[in-house]
Amino acid sequence: MEQELGVYKIKMMKFFCTILFLFVFEFAMGQVPGTLGFSYKNPRAQAFTLTVSSLDFTRANVTARILNNGVKPATTSGILWGFSVPTISSYTGITTDGNIAGNEYINTMTGLTLGGTYYIVAYATNIAGTSYGNVLTYTHGTIYNENTGKTWLAANLGATAFPTSMTHTAAYGSLYQWGRLKDGHENPASEGVGSTNGNDQPNNGGKFINLTYWTGNFGLWQGVSGTNNPCPSGFRLPTQEEFSNEISSLYVLNLTYGGRRYPNGASRQYSGDRGYYWTSSVVNGDKPVSLNIRNGVTTSFGNDFNGVGMSVRCIKN
């Protein structure tokens, strides 16, 4: 009998210990009111990265939020961005003026490049350290056409603003000789020279070559890894077919009347009246194809010499 009583007491002690443990656990997790001397709170505030949207050619707005529910209040919050996932000790850009009261805020990313892909996180710092929000991936300055399923840069290469009209001069951008790398020749005011060293990368100090054919190589601008591809990483020259598929909705791309530069040393011809855009396509083995636009709606494709300077609008691969 005494032995059975002893076993019963042991079982009851285990039972009450379990109940006590659960009570303390629930207390610690905040499920039971009281004044226990420790907190279930994370020592750091929580940060959330919500949305990002383009503001202008070099800036974008990021909406974020912190929950100021750490053991100690947040002293600094903001956003971080970089070409890899940023931290408070490794980043391309940072803001420090996010809301520290535990509310939603908007901060601005600056110094962005057209077509650049950035990783963005919100952060909050208090005495316990820094916490980070979810990571957003953002490619700056792009347009998605849901009709074709294609993503394009929102401006011509060399432009300094997103186009607001076909005659927006800041959106005209550069004039590239077909197949050439970005080396300064694309500047419409660059010096002209009447010879080439026969190299696919002339290295002539960024001069525009005043020859109808500056090279006999017509495979330079094929695909995202094509030789001399002037587009940002992950982008390339569109094919004639891809531009053709966009003709019914060219307004989405906001193409401009940036004119062209013919191999006679002149800067821009037909500026404000016509637009000429290179494609990567070549016909008859030696005639690059271009898209020509005028009068707002008239479009056509032409075959021209690779020495002509035209606008470039890149498409995402």
Mean pLDDT of the chain, nearest integer: 86
- Render pLDDT for 158-213 as a digit per residue (tens, 0 to 9): 999 999 999 999 999 999 999 999 999 999 999 999 888 778 999 899 999 999 99
What are the chain's domains? 46-139 (2.60.40.10), 142-317 (no CATH)
For 242, residues 6+ apart whose C-beta sits below 8 A from its C-beta are 148, 150, 279, 315
Query: Based on C-alpha coordinates, what's the Rg of the chain?
Result: 30
Residue 118's identity, in one-letter code, is Y
pTM (2 decimals)?
A: 0.80
Does pLDDT of 316 surpass 50?
Answer: yes
Provide the 8-state DSSP code for 145. E
Tell me the C-alpha to C-alpha distance, in Å, between residue 173 and each of 180, 209, 307.
Answer: 16, 19, 18
Percent of the chain with pLDDT over 70: 84
pLDDT of residue 188: 94
